[in-house]
Amino acid sequence: MAHALSCGAATAVGIDLRQESGAYCFSRKVEAPSGVRFPGVVRARQLRGKGSKSKDIRCAMPSGNEHDGISTATASGSDHKKGGLRGKLNKVVLAYSGGLDTSVIVPWLRENYGCEVVCFTADVGQGAIEMEGLEKKAKASGASQLVVKDLKEEFVSEYIYPCLRAGAVYERKYLLGTSMARPVIAKAMVDVAKEVGADAVAHGCTGKGNDQVRFELTFYALNPELKVVAPWREWDITGREDAIEYAKKHDVPVPVSKKSIYSRDRNLWHLSHEGDILEDPANEPKEDMYMMSVAPENAPSKPEYLEIGIIAGVPVSINGRDLSPASLLAKLNEIGGKHGIGRIDMVENRLVGMKSRGVYETPGGTIMAAAVRELEALTLDRETMQWKDIIALKYAELVYAGRWFDPLRQSFDAFTEKITATTTGSVTLKLYKGSVNIASRKSPHSLYREDISSFENGEIYNQADAEGFIRLYGLPTRVRAMLEKGI
């Protein structure tokens, strides 16, 4: 399910700039195009500045039946008051992608719950293509309002980086790209619901996947009073053809673009592929499926060296250049994709019980994970590293299962932040035809000492001491052997 949005139906006639709580707010007054009525005051509001983690643009939609040649299906006030076929809700915030499914959900919600529908889309780095034309689609489906938030920096710094610091990997391979994105989107939906006075939220996740759990556990954790509507668990629509028929019946424009044979989810961290030939684990993925990376055999013949600067367990720079979290990840995606880095093909155990097969492209994330893990080899002692690895398994499971706001995961964060406080330094990587190899690593907090590790005798380590250590360390083994031999 994609999450993107663009905004801007009306014509600006005046702009005023004021400062609100340390952030600059653009308040743009707009007027409706000729012949189109807007319900109430319309403003495009954008917050920027210190303490502002996201940009918020809100669009009011026309209440007429025609705008720019697009038929709209806005419900009347009397429709909202009398309720729908399944009950009555006042206002619902819908996780909106602009695809067929979520476009159909808009009129379905109005018809079945007699409610106003506010479409919400989060920009988590899925790309400009997925954000094109969403305003028109939302209008045509009958949405009363469209909200977009740029969550890329928040996504990387507050969701990806904690997982990276924890070393979280699900079932040995999966770097949790979709799992990390769902709670940041769902949290923003809860915020929007409060802003617009909604009493319910809705999503387009199917009843067979993990995402329904991830969205709803976040809703429960942050606002248990919100009602949750999951149309795929309620309606009679069973597939694409049914959805197209429903769309035509309710004057919702059907997307004319070619339907991808794969089910994909893209964000700044990764791109996942499922469905079609991938449903048979025996089938090799086709090369034309990949979108973020070249085939390793087609990557440059010359290796590229990359220095990753790390502070307290998270990357901060590339080749000495400091970058914001989102910018750094985007740059590593570009570099890694060019060298065929980060392709994963796996069969995983879904939370709902079934196995599924997916192919993931995570070029930048693979580079980040390799660099952080290698620096930890210098800065963490044996016992700490072992406990960190144990916790990483449970951490990944919690994130995969949608329990981002669980106190246990938050407690694990406190542990990993403490033990990685000294994981600071730099790692130089060698990228070559799909591989990431370590060229060098250094840290001011390194526990590695050449004067101790050298084969030459030194003042700190006396090789003769090893004999007594071995006799004591091996005593249980020796006693067991003595028992078996009757000694």
**44 three-state secondary structure:** strand
* Residues forming the active site: 101, 182, 211, 263
Dihedral of the CA atoms 78, 84, 89, 95 (nearest 10)? -110
What sign results for the dihedral spanned by CA atoms 457, 460, 462, 467? Answer: negative
CA distance 5 to 119: 9
Amino acid at 9: A
Amino acid at 482: M
CA distance 378 to 313: 12
Angle at 184 between CA 179 and CA 185, to 5 degrees: 95
Pairing of strands 23-31, 43-49: antiparallel
Question: Cβ(56)–Cβ(45) under 8 Å?
Answer: yes
* φ, ψ at 344 (rounded to 5°): -130, 130
Estimate to the nearest angstrom the gap between the alpha carbon of 173 and the chain centroid. Answer: 17
Q: Return the HEC string of 276-317.
A: HHHHCCCCCCCHHHCCCCCCHHHCCCCCEEEEEEEECCEEEE
Q: What are the C-alpha distances in Å from 459 to residues 129, 227, 388, 462, 469?
A: 64, 69, 32, 7, 18
CA distance 144 to 118: 6
CA distance 264 to 241: 19
